[in-house]
Structure 1
Amino acid sequence: MGRDSLFGETIVWTGEARYSRLPVAYRAVAALAFIATASALSFVLAAKLALHVAALPTLLFAAFSLAVGIAAVELPRWWLSQMRYTVTESHVIWQRGRFRRTIETRSISFARIFWDPRQPGVGDLELVRAVPTGALHRRLTLRLRGVAAPDRVWAIIRGVQTTVPAGVGERPLTQRLDPGERVLWTARPRRSWRGLLPRGQRQIGLVLVGIMLLGSVARIAWRLPSLTRALTDAGIRLAPLVAVMLALTLSLVLLLGLLGYALNEACLKPWRLVNNTHYLVTNRRVLIQRGHEELHLDRDRIVDVIDAPGQAAGVTDLFLVLDGPRARALEASGAFGELERTPYLRPVLLAVEDVDGARRVLGQRELPEAA
């Protein structure tokens, strides 16, 4: 291949976003916006039939909600359609038009792969760099969305030649190891009812939002029968009455959808995914697989292992402290009291029972190749 115009380095791989399905967040926003549009239009119809007024503010809100829903569907497609990715000898480059973001290959601490379950062989590759903890803590990531065979791209970035078929996310990680790579330790986290408890600012915030939404749903459901009787006694005709009931029902559906999302993200989803989580320590890497998400970490990035009591009795959480170029303050990965539990995988082995085995293996250097 040729040379990159930014760094003048040899290009080893180029690609673009292969995007066919909306991410879950955008689909949820679009669905909620369209439900809000239908609810607002029902109120407008009821006001027109019963009171013979236009209800212009509600109509404007319906138009705004419709625009938000359409934007949630179309804007991601338009944004991703012009993304280009380049891997050179020393850098990974994300480019869209004149905008560029880069990350040094040697500065990458670990990578996350998010497989698309509806588009086999395609997923997102997120490159993460360890940064100082404490007051200087920040997140440095570069995400390549909609990449074909993201595991192959990650191998190219690491400079590893592999003959294993790439782009097959359904295969377990044990069938997609590098040449000469061997599994030294494997485990699964132990699931406990304590995993249902919210942990961290994000999850606690979602639970509080869920409680407020539950109060709103209960209030609407409690007053709905009395409101129906009051409208009937006032002589409201059947058509506007049906429109009002439809609007209130759609409002309840909207609130229930938000409530379900908040509780699922805060409690149910993390607890449910424990059964689909698998830890692997090889002679070269630490690998974590959870459903359609994977974390790949080279062992030479690990400088220490800190253990802490797990949520359940008899289990321990192992936090892998990372190091990297110009990041000597170390990324704590939760080891220094960070309670935040993000929805994505981190270099943390949660609810481990075989702590001694994990520590013993992680303390070893790469084993020599067998003769």
Structure 2
Amino acid sequence: MKQLPHRPTPCGRCPWRTDIPAEALPAERAGRLRAACGRPGAEVAPYVPMDLCNQHHDHPELVCAGWLAVHGLDHLGVRIAASLGGLPAAVLRPDPARPPLFTDLDTMLAGRPQPTPPNEPRAGAGAVEDTALDVGDPDTGLPRVLSRRCSTCVLDPADLMHLGTEHRRGFLRGVRARDGYVICHQTLPSTAPPGYAPAVCRGSYDKIRTTTVKIMKLFGVVEVDPPAPANTTEPTGSVAVADLSTDERYALIADLAGCMVDGYTPEQVNLVFDRLREVFGVELVAVWEYLDVWGFGGNSDFYLRAEEGRLRELAGDLWRWLNDSPDDPDRPTTPGSAKSWVGHAADFTLDGYTSDGAHNAAAEDRRDI
């Protein structure tokens, strides 16, 4: 396992230090600390985000050294990382050679002013990165994750909430900087149906590679269906996809043109192939070289799933339409018809391959190596 990015010693403003003036903590961080600090016999679940250093301008994704020394062993994700060689044992206990620290969270909070009020949420954010909302399944202890994207997922390439690219990128940067995850906006207490508990946004689970999400994938999740829309009737005059013309279908996926020009991740494969299935009714799969504890990797190719589990090579213009730069004058202007994507029969099937249950499969499973 790679080293988990962390500070080797508490920074100059670390709230866990007792030798510097106590400053008021932002309410957001105080809330995250309460979620991230357990105690012996009541350890924190591995998917709960770890506490990060508040020196964001310096190193935005380093785990706080003070928190590691005081409460690190009370977080199961930290124990797992240490057991796999991702953290040195020396950072998990106070060191007389380093600055003195508070003994626990309660003592630390009692010795400083009241937390500062939280920032006002941005209008239309559409999703929440909020560890105060528990996504843990009460029966298994595993995190609840949506089985598919909700009907208005803010991370859909189609921008269904009309937030704008920069708004979404800024939101994701914040989540990554906190090493967290996103709670689906349709599962929040203020919007979810009665009795529906918060769950992790499927779009973020597929797209974001924070340590927290990696731990979720490593140890498993409980998948739950998104809440049913409040109004399931189609607007008057709506047209089913099956009734759309070819040009109208192309318009529905126009934003996918060149979306893989910088490469693609398994999460992006699922997002894009889901869209293509919805519009064209075809099943595509990316076949990777291997799957290890961090996900699919190595060389990969796209195939179509045919009847009885057989595969067809991908033909036509779809590959270039997805992967060529939109600035390339020779790039196909459309992906072509779905019929044109059907190539020769592949010389293998997916029997014995490891799948994510969606659109990715691997020839070799290296998770136990």
Q: TM-score, normalised by structure 1?
A: 0.23
Larger RCO, structure (CA 8 Å, separation 6 or more)? 1
Q: Which has the higher strand share?
A: 1
Q: Which has the higher helix share?
A: 1
